[in-house]
Amino acid sequence: MENLVTICQEAAVEAMESFLKTFSFVPDDRLTWKPCPTANSAIRIAAHTALYVDRFAIMLRNRRLPIEEEIPGIQAVMNAAEEALTDRQEMERVYRRNTEEFVRVIASLTTAETGSMLDSTFGYPVPMTFLMWLPSRNALGHEGQIDYLQTCWDDKVVHF
């Protein structure tokens, strides 16, 4: 069996490709459409998905999760970056670049580190494996959001 690092690398790339495939069926005139004013549009969901892969790589590189006091600042930076990433092609470039970086960073983990626990500063430890799987889990969850938005404009085709 392949080692866990390789499996998580492949899962991150496969989830990215699946997300991008589903996203490719969002018509240009629907990129910024929202089912209600407080919802996220398809391009915002895509920007979020693309940008957060880099946050996961940073956590892996640092071998730590952000502490509670850092989270509002990180969220503010990420929200601004998401709002600024409004071009379909640029979003894909960012997503691919961030996934390549995640793949490189995760390769630096030792076997002992893959089995380690990270302090969450919320009173419970988080397994390193959770962080290793996060890009693929995040992408697949957000792909479901894109798929739902597509049903809102009557695209009920399953896009494989």
**pLDDT tens, 35-53?**
999 999 999 999 999 999 9
The answer to whether position 160 is within a domain reads: no
Considering the chain, what percentage of its residues have pLDDT values greater than 90?
90
Question: Containing domain of residue 103, as a range?
Answer: 4-152
Tokens of 51: 């940008």
Average confidence score pLDDT of the chain: 95
Domains: count for the chain: 1
Looking at the domain assignment, is residue 157 inside a domain?
no
Does 158 map to a domain?
no
What is the predicted pLDDT for the residue at 89?
98
Q: Is residue 96 part of a domain?
A: yes
Q: What is the pTM of this model?
A: 0.94
Q: Give dist(CA 27, CA 86) in Å, integer.
A: 14
Give me the pLDDT at residue 1, please. 37
Task: Give CA–CA dist 12/62, Å, rounded.
Answer: 19
- Residue 118 within any structural domain of the chain: yes
Residue 12 has pLDDT above 50, yes or no: yes
CA distances 42 to 26, 52, 94, 134, 157, Å, are: 8, 15, 16, 20, 17
Mean pLDDT, residues 138-159 taken together = 92
Q: In this structure, what CATH number is given to the domain that contains residue 61?
A: 1.20.120.450
Burial of 32 (0-12, 13-18, 19+ CB in 10 A): exposed
Is 108 within the bounds of a domain? Answer: yes
The reply to whether 100 falls in a domain is yes
What gap in Å lies between CA 32 and CA 89, rounded to an integer?
15
Give the whole-angstrom CA distance, residue 55 versus residue 117.
18
Q: Is the pLDDT of residue 96 over 80?
A: yes
- Kindly state whether residue 135 falls inside one of the protein's structural domains: yes
